[in-house]
């Protein structure tokens, strides 16, 4: 069956992340009554945010090709993303699945200072380059799987790094852990390629497979 357009019913109120995964370029209409979107609901598909009798959605809006929360804090998805992407100032949260699996479409995602949260799978599996803002406090499960970094300096005061956060990542120079980080989560750098790890005093626990199957690893404390 070949879909040319999907228009969801006006009764719809919530959509889970990656809820609608289709091949091709089928546009998907999100009705005005939707009040909760748990991360990117589509798999690299164009999205249209509808109004109802001329009344726009009260919880989400488009800024150009970017679907964001009404307060502008959360980036949900980016229609027509390609090449080098620069996330604008003011965004604090990259939603679950936001840029997941954009292989050969996006070459780099530039994240601004002010970003506090990288959601579940937000950059996952994309094989593009990115940076790590010093303001990040939450890195969810598999957020940066397969992403390339020049370096990763995890900031003091970081609160959460989920399992597999950097699995399969490529780090060209070094990864530096802050003294405030007590636990390295399961599979955090599983099968990644890292030139050097720099550990601080304060680390108390290393999870299962945290550094398993790493290529090019050298490490020391500082």
Burial class of residue 82, CB neighbours in 10 A (0-12, 13-18, 19+): exposed
Confidence grade of residue 221 (pLDDT, cut at 50, 70, 90): low
- Per-residue pLDDT at 4: 73
Examine the pLDDT at 217 and tell me if it is beyond 60. no
Instruction: Tell me, rounded to whole angstroms, the distance of Cα 196 from its chain centroid.
Output: 24
pLDDT tens across 198-208, in order? 999 999 999 99
Examine the pLDDT at 44 and tell me if it is beyond 80. no
Using CA atoms, how far apart are residues 154 and 124, in angstroms rounded to an integer? 18
Half-sphere exposure of 140 (CA within 13 A, CB side): 16
DSSP per position, 39-87: S--BSS--EEE--BTTBPPSSEEEETTEEEETTS-EEEEETT--EEEEP
Q: Kindly state the average pLDDT of the residues 36-41.
A: 94
Confidence grade of residue 89 (pLDDT, cut at 50, 70, 90): very high
Examine the pLDDT at 111 and tell me if it is beyond 80. yes
Task: Tell me what the pLDDT averaged over the chain comes to.
Answer: 92
| pTM as predicted | 0.92
Examine the pLDDT at 152 and tell me if it is beyond 90. yes
pLDDT tens across 45-59, in order? 889 999 888 899 999
Examine the pLDDT at 222 and tell me if it is beyond 60. no
- Per-residue pLDDT at 24: 66
Q: Kindly state the average pLDDT of the residues 181-199.
A: 96
Give percent above pLDDT 90 in the chain: 80
* Whole-Å CA distances, 200 to 117, 178, 182, 188, 205: 23, 6, 10, 17, 12
């Amino acid at each position: 069956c070949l879909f040319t357009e999907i228009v969801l019913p006006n009764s719809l109120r919530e959509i889970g992340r990656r809820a609608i995964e289709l091949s091709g370029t089928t546009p998907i209409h999100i009705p005005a009554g939707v009040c909760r979107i748990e991360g990117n609901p589509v798999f690299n598909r164009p999205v249209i945010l509808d109004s109802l009798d001329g009344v726009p959605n009260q919880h989400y809006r488009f800024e150009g090709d970017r679907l964001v929360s009404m307060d502008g804090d959360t980036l949900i998805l980016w229609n027509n993303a390609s090449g080098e992407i620069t996330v604008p100032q003011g965004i604090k949260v990259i939603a679950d699945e936001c840029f997941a699996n954009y292989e050969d479409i996006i070459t780099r995602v530039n994240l601004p200072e002010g970003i506090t949260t990288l959601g579940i799978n937000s950059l996952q599996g994309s094989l593009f380059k990115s940076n790590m803002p010093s303001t990040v406090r939450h890195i969810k499960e598999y957020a940066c799987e397969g992403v390339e970094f020049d370096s990763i300096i995890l900031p003091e005061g970081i609160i959460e790094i989920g399992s597999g956060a950097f699995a399969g990542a490529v780090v060209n120079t070094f990864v530096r852990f802050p003294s405030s980080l007590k636990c390295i989560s399961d599979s955090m750098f599983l099968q990644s390629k890292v030139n050097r790890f720099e550990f601080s005093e304060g680390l108390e626990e290393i999870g299962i497979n945290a550094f398993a199957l790493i290529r090019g690893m050298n490490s020391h404390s500082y």
